[in-house]
Amino acid sequence: MPQLETTTVVLYDIPHDRTRTKVSDKCLDFGLVRFQYSAFYGQLTRNRREELSLVLEHLIEVHGGAIALIPVCLTDCQQWINVYVEPPPIERPCLKLVTKATDDDSAAGPSQ
């Protein structure tokens, strides 16, 4: 009898940049979808969820971190609410290019 897939949410707090990237890549390898910087979700069987937890545990052994794999039932998934507001554009300061005249430029006088 095949195992049922359950929506699984993966949340993590990992201080080391390279380790965090490896954890993110591994979540993608397991077919999960990122919905926040440190949060993924997707369909996993119990066995795949346990396999992912072992792989992720191995990745954070050296530098530490915290990872939660949370199975979510269909009823709760149907009540999932996402709130997203596009951030305002970043204002970039106007840059003025200033060149410094060298002594040779000023001695030569204006160019013809």
Residue 30: CB atoms within 10 Å? 19
Q: How confident is the model over 9-41, as pLDDT tens digits? A: 999 999 999 999 999 999 999 999 999 999 999
**By C-alpha distance, which of 55, 57, 33, 41 is closest to 9?**
41
Q: How confident is the model over 33-89, as pLDDT tens digits? A: 999 999 999 999 999 999 999 999 999 999 999 999 999 999 998 998 988 898 898
Q: What is the pTM of this model?
A: 0.74
What architecture (CATH level 2) is domain 6-77?
2-Layer Sandwich (3.30)
What are the residue boundaries of the structural domains of the chain, listed by start? Answer: 6-77
